[in-house]
């Protein structure tokens, strides 16, 4: 299936300022995604994921957010995300997510 040009993705990072642990993700809308992360934290949903349990432990103020790369197709974004995760091995990502990405890219 061909992607629409307007479906552009951004790779981003969330880092704990104190422990330097990172989370790497991709999204179509960075502002909405950051709000969604904060909303899930406050609602205490998905707290089993390393990112959210870390945010609960250190507090929302302990995290900084940054953009890594912009204007990518979904497939490009998934490849970049996979490369970044393999290189940096971010402690706050879920291992299940990376299995799903590998299956999507290499099936």
pLDDT over 70 at 107, yes or no: no
pLDDT band at 99 (very low <50, low <70, confident <90, very high): low
What percent of the chain clears pLDDT 70, i.e. is strictly above it? 80
Q: Which residue has the higher pLDDT, 49 or 8?
A: 8
Across the range 21-45, mean pLDDT stands at: 90
Task: Inform me whether the pLDDT recorded for 13 exceeds 80.
Answer: yes
Residue 90's nearest CA partner among 68, 72, 107, 71 is: 68
Angle at 69 between CA 34 and CA 54, to 5 degrees: 40
Residue 1 has pLDDT above 70, yes or no: no
């Amino acid at each position: 299936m061909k992607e629409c040009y307007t479906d552009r993705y951004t790779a981003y990072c969330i880092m704990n300022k104190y422990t330097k642990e990172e989370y790497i993700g991709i999204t179509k809308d960075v502002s909405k995604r950051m709000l969604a992360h904060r909303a899930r934290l406050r609602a205490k949903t998905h707290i089993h994921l390393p990112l959210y349990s870390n945010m609960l432990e250190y507090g929302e103020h302990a995290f900084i957010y940054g953009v890594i790369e912009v204007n990518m197709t979904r497939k490009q974004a998934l490849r970049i995300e996979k490369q970044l995760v393999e290189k940096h091995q971010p402690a706050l990502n879920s291992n299940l997510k990376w299995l799903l990405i590998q299956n999507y890219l290499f099936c």
